[in-house]
Amino acid sequence: MFDLTGMNALVTGASGGIGSSVARCLARQGARLALSGSNPAKLRGFRDELNAEFGHDHVEITCDLSNAEQVEELIPATVDTLGKIDILVNNAGITRDNLAMRMKDEEWEQVIRINLEAAFRLMRAATRPMMKARFGRMISITSVVGATGNPGQANYAAAKAGLVGMSKSMAQELASRGVTVNCVAPGFIRTAMTDVLPDAQKEALNGRIPMGRMGEGDDIGAAVAFLASKEAGYLTGQTLHVNGGMAMFA
């Protein structure tokens, strides 16, 4: 079940905490990966790890998601390198937190450009090859704050909520061609950034989660692997909330 053998996937932000977990889960299920990010050295190192552990001759493609020209070239480069693209995972994202009354225009623009606009450009570019193949999986990593909001993150919450609405629209446009478009919304996930938080702050965060702990990157990776699979072919326009019960939606 959830065998991705023979499928090719592009994962953005692939060398980061959640991105690397997503990439590992897809590789473990048999997918061949194009790993994208802005740090060539980290990408090469991670690619070598995946090739040693899983094989499949994974590749890396450097891309600055704030550069529209580079973003437009990423899908064609993936298809040229791998031969086709079956799975697109929009994972890369940044934060520029500030209270709305103090938020600078560039803080708003940077988050929207990388977290939302770049995802749209990649999904638009992937539409044609996926429609032609009559198969595709587009999966965007959003956030619980896209549904709940969060003080100091008006830009981030807007971008993540925008991903959900955009995915629903594209899901309706592409469903008849066998292309599904879904989101995964993480809650608090344990990463290198959360590991350095003071114990008191970790306890406070865990106290907001019914399961009493932060999630792991593999929890997100598993959700993505499911949505990428053939078994998830009748699921589109949906958001899977992976948050340990911190926020429950009807």
Residues with a known catalytic role: 156
CA torsion sign for 143, 148, 149, 151 is: negative
For tokens 């090719």, what's the residue?
A: 8
d(CA 137, CA 228): 6
d(CA 165, CA 146): 10
Residues 6+ apart with CB under 8 A from 198: none
Task: Identify which of 159, 5, 163 has the alpha carbon closest to the alpha carbon of residue 87.
Answer: 5
β-strand partners of 98: 153
Residues 6+ apart with CB under 8 A from 105: none
For tokens 């595709």, what's the residue?
A: 136
Residues 6+ apart with CB under 8 A from 170: 123, 127, 138, 181
d(CA 135, CA 129): 9
Residue 104 identity (one-letter amino acid): K
For tokens 């298809």, what's the residue?
A: 79
d(CA 214, CA 217): 10
